[in-house]
Amino acid sequence: MRLNIDEATTWLELAACVTRLSATGLLTRLREGDEDLADAILAILASELKPSQRLDAVRDFLVTHSLGETWDPATDVATHAWSPETSPFQVPQRFLDVWFPKTSPPPSGVFVEAQPVERLMRIRQFYDSVDLEPDLLNSTRMFGNRNIGDARRTNLQVPGQFTFDDTPILITSWWITTVAWPRADEFFSRCWLTMVVGDRPEMMTPALELWHRRQSVLIPVPARQNFSVVFDCSNVTDEIRPAYAPPLYVFVEGWGQRKSP
């Protein structure tokens, strides 16, 4: 069995988006016929791993090689900056083919018209909120059943899960928003948010960064997989808390496949 270079390129570039590292060096070696490297990548792609597990394996492989003795950050910089603001249809088609493959080929002799990306995919935003009360717990798990049924607080319909035609969601960005107060920056500089998929933390980010700008990510959430965001304010002192209890909203944006285009 030989390695499919196009498939290997897709997975390495996808891992590069996640890790913010460059896959250029590895791709050059693959195209030049590095057999040891090709065998290592083939062992991952030929396995029975689920897509999310396969991405983990390729990501670990990329990090190991990029951060090895030959890695030079001055010359091997990240080249795959993910910018969800640049276009409403920014997901490259080769990534869609990997994450949302066709379920079955059409019957022989039946012509199926190709659908544009915007008809196959839909960008979705999910949000949940928590009041920044004086007695707020040091660690609060969001996207649970706390606010279900109140559209002013959340648009989640099932506690701890994204519901979208029973298809996976590919998260591309997240951010927070609230009513500003004089010491909001100081408050958020001492808080952290952790995105959890299943039972594994996928992303931990300072709240101050999410307060000032949208953060780009690339995190798959399988259909009916548990999801939550943990808001940690254990390092906040009373004097920098808001005088009232404004709601803090956490927004998560991603792509879901339409079941019926």
Domains of the chain: 5-81 (no CATH), 117-257 (2.60.120)
Q: Which amino acid is at 42?
A: L
What distance in Å separates the CA atoms of residue 164 and residue 122, rounded to the nearest whole number?
Answer: 10
Asked if the model's pLDDT at residue 88 lies above 50, the reply is no
pLDDT at 50: 66
Q: Which of 195, 167, 6 lies closest to 92, judged by CA?
A: 6
More confident position, 147 or 100: 147
pLDDT at 227: 94
pLDDT at 37: 85
Q: What angle do CA 50, 156, 101 make, to 5 degrees?
A: 30
pLDDT at 73: 40
What distance in Å separates the CA atoms of residue 60 and residue 79, rounded to the nearest whole number?
Answer: 18
Q: Which residue has the tokens 């060096």?
A: 25
Asked if the model's pLDDT at residue 141 lies above 90, the reply is yes
Q: What is the DSSP string of 192-259?
A: EEEEEETTEEEEEEEHHHHHHSPEEEEEEE-TT--EEEEEE-TT--GGGS-SS-PEEEEEEEEEEE-S
Asked if the model's pLDDT at residue 229 lies above 50, the reply is yes
pLDDT at 18: 57
How does residue 20 score in pLDDT terms, banded at 50, 70 and 90? low
pLDDT at 188: 93
Q: Which of 96, 76, 67 lies closest to 28, judged by CA?
A: 76
Tell me which of 6-20, 76-90, 148-162, 163-177 is least confident.
76-90
Asked if the model's pLDDT at residue 104 lies above 80, the reply is no
The encoded tokens of residue 252 equal 């998560």
User: What is the DSSP-derived secondary structure letter of residue 158?
Assistant: B
Identify the helix (H) or strand (E) that includes residue 175.
strand 169-177
**Per-residue pLDDT averaged across 4-14, rounded?**
79
Asked if the model's pLDDT at residue 122 lies above 90, the reply is no
What distance in Å separates the CA atoms of residue 38 and residue 9, rounded to the nearest whole number?
Answer: 11
Tell me which of 45-59, 180-194, 198-212 is least confident.
45-59
Q: What pairs with residue 7 in β-bridges?
A: none
More confident position, 93 or 117: 93
Tell me which of 9-18, 23-32, 67-76 is least confident.
67-76
pLDDT at 236: 85
Report percent pLDDT > 70 for the chain.
69
What distance in Å separates the CA atoms of residue 42 and residue 53, rounded to the nearest whole number?
Answer: 15
What distance in Å separates the CA atoms of residue 179 and residue 129, rounded to the nearest whole number?
Answer: 12
Asked if the model's pLDDT at residue 162 lies above 60, the reply is yes
Task: Write down the H helix ranges in the chain.
Answer: 5-19, 24-31, 35-45, 51-66, 93-99, 117-120, 184-188, 207-212
**Per-residue pLDDT averaged across 186-210, rounded?**
92
User: What is the DSSP-derived secondary structure letter of residue 113?
Assistant: P
Q: Which of 125, 126, 128, 124 lies closest to 154, judged by CA?
A: 128
